[in-house]
Amino acid sequence: MGEFGIGQSVKRKEDDTLLIGKGHYIDDINVAGQAHAYVLRSPHANAKVLSIETGSALAMPGVLAIYTGADVEDVGPLPCAVDAMFEFKRRNGSKRFFPTHHVLVRTHVRHVGDPVAFVIAETRTQAKDAAEAVLVDYEVLPSVTDTAAALAPGAPVIYADETDGNDAFLFTMGDAAASEAAFTAAHKTVRFKHVNQRIIAASMEPRGCIGEYDAASGRYTLHTNTQSVYRNRAICAQMLGVEENRIHVTCPEVGGSFGMKGMPYPEQPLVMLAAQRLGRAVKWYSDRSEAFLSDTQGRDLVVDAELALDSDGHFLAVRVHSVGSMGAYASNFGPMILSAGSVRMLPGVYRVPLVYAEVEVSITNKVFTDAYRGAGRPEASYVIERLVDLAAHAMKLSPVEIRRRNLIAAAQMPYSGPTGMTYDSGDFVKNLDDCLKAADWDGIEVRRAEAAKRGRLRGIGMSVYIEATAGGVPETARIEVNADGSVMAYSGSLTQGQAHATTFAQIVADKLGTDYDRITVHQGDSDILAQGGGAGGSRSGYSGGGAVLAGVEKVIDKARKIASHMLEAAEADIEFDGGTFTIAGTDRTLSLGDVAKAADDPANLPDGMAPGLKEDATYKSEASSFPNGCHIVEVEVDPDTGDIVIENYTVVDDFGHVLNPMIVHGQIHGGIVQGIGQALYEDAIYDAESGQLLTGSFMDYCMPRALNLPSIKIDMNVVPCTTNSLGLKGAGEAGTTGATGAVINAVLDALAPTGVTHIEMPATPQRVWRAIHDAKAA
Amino acid sequence: MYQFEYHKASSVEDAMKKLASADDGKILAGGMTLLPTMKQRLASPSDLIDLSGIAALKGIKVDGKTVTIGAMTTHWEVHSSKDVQKAIPALSDLAGQIGDPMVRHRGTIGGSIANSDPSADYPAAVIGLGATIKTNKRDIAADDYFKGLFETALADDELIVSVSFPIPKRAAYQKFPQPASRYAMVGVMVAETDSGIRVGVTGAGPCAFRVPAMEKALGAKFAAESVANITIPSDGLNSDIHGSAEYRAHLVGVMAKRAVAAA
Ligand SMILES: Cc1cc2nc3c(=O)[nH]c(=O)nc-3n(C[C@H](O)[C@H](O)[C@H](O)COP(=O)(O)OP(=O)(O)OC[C@H]3O[C@@H](n4cnc5c(N)ncnc54)[C@H](O)[C@@H]3O)c2cc1C
């Protein structure tokens, strides 16, 4: 309703402070008397810790304490949440092998960056100096960082004391025999072997935390940047062996996360433990180099994928064998994302009768993987969209025509596919048609010829994507109308830059009629609501927003009852509009503020009604939402250097209803840029011998820059979601999901005249040049 | 970063005196290379002697034949100087391709050339234009200056005062950036000077170098096709995750051709 309601591009409440550098982040928080911690990390990928000598370090100026694994044996290991949800088994049928993940190593270091000691001093510099004086005697062991090589016979077994291989578990989905039969009977099959490379999240703000302990109440406070104060509270309580009521978690502004800050890390329980032991607050803040070594990383799959077709180019079956590497430990969601997460969306937007997938997850001497924007769905989308282009080539059909023959029609919704996903809504054909037109797909030959005159190879590619956001996860909110009519909206969700303060306020403004400026959204404090969820899986809009909406509806219900009582009219005769209750057909009104003011005094209320106008609500969407759309990318390749320039980027997205188009456009931009980053630039490369991260700084880890990016043309195709109250489809990860396939398809279209048919991500200049060079030689 | 003593020098003599009396002193120019290495604790000088207060080290002078740039002149000043743009547009262009605006406003030509990073841009200009490095002790010809990886002819007690570039008849710089750092994977300066054609290459080898075969061919005919078929051997060239020696050798040819076309 109105210019601040749902669907309006309301300016972000957050920006006035953030854009002038007044945002309040973890490093802006300083607690009186705080000490500083520094983590001494392993310089080796795999080694036995023979001894740790802290004596001379402890004697250094300002040093308060140094903890090693032996000093924190009372802290429980970091849990893997998905371990309880899946029955993971190894290929040989035995139980999954997930190594115990201690907050500080006890006997071995398993990746470069593994925490060895926690050094606390008066200043950060003193802690760092002391860390250098800690003498650790390592017996360096052979390491393995290559995802697939870790499973090869003869690879050093990383946890040889505990298990007999580097295979953590094997995940299978579908009917192997039925898919084998489909492949045998197929008219044609195409095959696509590739690497979905490891990605470093590289959020602008690194991780950090401050622990406090109040001896009188026995309560800990943890200030930290996270995606969920509640998950952090629960897991930290478990690790510290205390009850949840004894931990208070707060979270200020967060400078990006992308999944990486979604789970607790060793430093969080450690700062709390140190605060309790030392009787003063302890702060830890990661520097950029540490972030490269200790933040969870994303992706990391080696995939062998096949598609079977009949003689009309209809898809018969998709089959995938992949190896994913979770790194040295099983992180919170990591094993699920690599396995089920990377294959459930393999059918994409197509009618695919059969899907069979096997994912074997390896343990390697790399930092552990976990959610990274898209968390499995971009991996799946990349597989199917590349297979479809290869199939088009094999069937001598255009990429458009082969897609048309296989797209699920709008009339088939809701559509249940072979992997157990039910798409509630969507019009994939319209997405394709609209995008083809907006991108002037048919005009490519003119542009290709013009580029050729300049010595450039121009190509066009698409992906018609769909992804599954998190569904059925409860979220909480509290809506409180103050006596002056202003509104507090508390949310159990949490923002890392997505602007919940704006979009949630829009929902309140729209439904309660309250001025946008008189609505304050508050989140990131585990003491306010009993429970809450957080951000993750692109669900905040419909989960967090849905909870806000549910709270608002409860407030209106109650306020209507009070208004009916005060106005002495039947509840059914009370209308509510624009923040005012009116007896229908009269001029007798009460504002929401009047009602709120009256509600504090039980005398004004119907018998038995509790005072106040403050409602808690929990909302759970029925299912995942399925954002979908079409990306069309046009690139030019410089065949002499291998350099790629993205010339045009067009996208049509179906996000159902949209709370704030401007904010959603921002999500599309960011999502696409991260997809482009994976397609063309980003790659976490480990040295095969030493296990060192070779791309350990921005000098070698290539982030996409503004100058690499085109202006992105966006259109919306609104088909409301039917499984949540706001009709939204999560927009946060869709861009990343659609981008990689579209970019690489465009690159390979450009390279077609050179005979190149395959390129790995990232398609760096050297790789492109090498591919052209090798194709020429062949 | 470790503790260090900071000194601001008032003159070149003062700087050298302070440097001599320090345990393990270092000259500080723009700090764009030195400070990050100190922050990462990879360098730990006892003293820093800051040159930023020495007016004599700053500024750009053009006479009929040469452009002389003070050691403490920033990349941004070289890039935006009308005099440089007029006399040696290729040099202004090169300076404008270094790093990002922050780096260009701090980093200096003296610091860059003293450092001799194998992938820095200026060394291509020093070699390609046949510059003279003027120090507090002597003049060093470009061809005698770069000695190897981060190695120059500078003595420990030697300070770059200015760099003189003879004004070429024509010149152009072409850079292919390393994708992540955007330093030069390969950069080539091609110039037609009074003393003949010069081709200066940075990024490809341990330090900047000339390509005599290309110079000879261009001397015969200054045209892109003259260098089209000249390949340089990849032996001894830099090789890393961004570019193998073979790829770099290839890029030298491509960049040289483009520089000739642009000159
Ligand atoms: C993010 C980033 C990107 C960059 N990108 C590029 C790029 O694309 N291309 C490129 O060429 N460079 C690049 N640089 C390097 C930058 O351009 C500077 O030129 C370079 O760092 C050195 O100059 P400085 O003035 O900062 O020297 P400093 O860092 O202060 O000093 C460097 C070294 O030179 C010595 N030194 C300084 N001045 C003198 C002198 N007058 N005489 C003798 N010794 C001296 C110092 O003691 C020190 O050892 C980049 C730097 C950064 C941080």
**Given a cut of 60, is residue A325 above it in pLDDT?**
yes
Helices (H), A245-376: 267-278, 288-294, 334-338, 340-343
**Given a cut of 60, is residue A663 above it in pLDDT?**
yes
Provide the pLDDT confidence category of residue A291 given band limits of 50, 70 and 90. Answer: very high
**Given a cut of 90, is residue A312 above it in pLDDT?**
yes
Q: Which atom of ligand 1 is nearest to the CA of B97?
A: 8
* Domains in chain A, CATH or no CATH each: 2-20+471-619 (3.30.365.10), 31-141+208-285 (3.90.1170.50), 145-198+296-396 (3.30.365.10), 424-469+625-778 (3.30.365.10)
Instruction: Convert the pLDDT of each residue in A150-193 to its tens digit.
Output: 999 999 999 999 999 999 999 999 999 999 999 999 999 999 99
Instruction: Convert the pLDDT of each residue in A36-57 to its tens digit.
Output: 999 999 999 999 999 999 999 9
Does B173 contact chain A (CB < 8 Å)? no
Tell me which architecture the domain covering B5-55 has in CATH: 2-Layer Sandwich (3.30)
What pLDDT, on a 0 to 100 scale, did the predictor assign at position A86?
A: 87
Tell me which architecture the domain covering B58-262 has in CATH: 2-Layer Sandwich (3.30)
Q: How many Cα atoms within 13 Å fall on the side-chain side of residue B128? A: 30
A415-416 and B209-210 beta bridge pairing: unpaired
What pLDDT, on a 0 to 100 scale, did the predictor assign at position A1?
A: 52
ipTM: 0.96
Chain B residue with Cα closest to A685: B241
Tell me which residue has tokens 């002495």.
A568
Q: What is the pLDDT along chain B (263 residues), one digit of tens a residue?
A: 899 999 999 999 999 999 999 999 999 999 999 999 999 999 999 999 999 999 999 999 999 899 999 999 999 999 999 999 999 999 999 999 999 999 999 999 999 999 999 999 999 999 999 999 999 999 999 999 999 999 999 999 999 999 999 999 999 999 999 999 999 999 999 999 999 999 999 999 999 999 999 999 999 999 999 999 999 999 999 999 999 999 999 999 999 999 999 99
Q: How many Cα atoms within 13 Å fall on the side-chain side of residue A494? A: 33
Chain centroid to Cα A35, Å, comes to: 32
Cβ neighbour number for residue A388 with a 10 Å cutoff = 28
Query: How many Å apart are CA A520 and CA A513, to the nearest integer?
Result: 14
Scanning B18-57 for CB atoms below 8 A from A yields 40-41
What pLDDT, on a 0 to 100 scale, did the predictor assign at position A505?
A: 98
Chain B residue with Cα closest to A686: B241
Scanning A98-127 for CB atoms below 8 A from B yields 125
Q: Which atom of ligand 1 is nearest to the CA of B27?
A: 47
Provide the pLDDT confidence category of residue A778 given band limits of 50, 70 and 90. Answer: confident
DSSP H or E stretch at residue A15: helix A15-18
Is A594 in contact with A562 (CB distance < 8 Å)? no
Nearest residue CA, atom 28 of ligand 1? B31
Which has the closest alpha carbon to B102: B163, B37, B36?
B36
How high is the mean pLDDT of chain A? 97
Ligand 1 centre distance from Cα of residue A339 (Å): 47
Q: Average pLDDT for residues A572-600, to the nearest whole number?
A: 96
Query: How many Å apart are CA A429 and CA A439, to the nearest integer?
Result: 15
Residues in B closer than 8 angstroms to A769, CB to CB, are 247, 250
**Given a cut of 70, is residue A411 above it in pLDDT?**
yes
From A132, A700, A770, residue closest to B241, measured CB to CB: A700
Chain centroid to Cα A458, Å, comes to: 33
Residues lining ligand 1, Cβ inside 6 A: B 26-34, 71, 75, 98-99, 103, 106-108, 110-112, 114-115, 120-122, 159-160, 182-183
Residues of chain B by 3-state class (helix, strand, coil), percent to 5: 35, 25, 40
**Given a cut of 70, is residue A593 above it in pLDDT?**
yes
DSSP A389: H
What pLDDT, on a 0 to 100 scale, did the predictor assign at position A422?
A: 98
pTM, 2 dp:
0.97
Q: In angstroms, what CA-CA distances link B88 with A73, B91, B170, B174, B213?
A: 67, 5, 8, 14, 24
Scanning B235-254 for CB atoms below 8 A from A yields 241-244, 247, 250-251, 254
Q: Average pLDDT for residues A77-102, to the nearest whole number?
A: 95
DSSP A677: I
Instruction: Convert the pLDDT of each residue in A96-150 to its tens digit.
Output: 999 999 999 999 999 999 999 999 999 999 999 999 999 999 999 999 999 999 9
Q: Where are the domains of chain B?
A: 5-55, 58-262
**Given a cut of 80, is residue A689 above it in pLDDT?**
yes
Residues in B closer than 8 angstroms to A640, CB to CB, are 254
Which has the closest alpha carbon to A514: A524, A522, A504, A523?
A504
What pLDDT, on a 0 to 100 scale, did the predictor assign at position A379?
A: 98
Q: Does the distance separating the beta carbons of A766 and B176 come in below 8 Å?
A: no
What pLDDT, on a 0 to 100 scale, did the predictor assign at position A2?
A: 77
DSSP H or E stretch at residue A649: strand A643-654
Helices (H), A568-689: 592-599, 661-676
| Residue-by-residue DSSP string for A433-453 | HHHHHHTTGGGHHHHHHHHHH
Chain A residue with Cα closest to B258: A640
Q: Average pLDDT for residues A606-620, to the nearest whole number?
A: 96
Q: Which atom of ligand 1 is nearest to the CA of B121?
A: 11
What pLDDT, on a 0 to 100 scale, did the predictor assign at position A21?
A: 92
Chain A residue with Cα closest to B1: A125
Q: Does the distance separating the beta carbons of B247 and A703 come in below 8 Å?
A: no
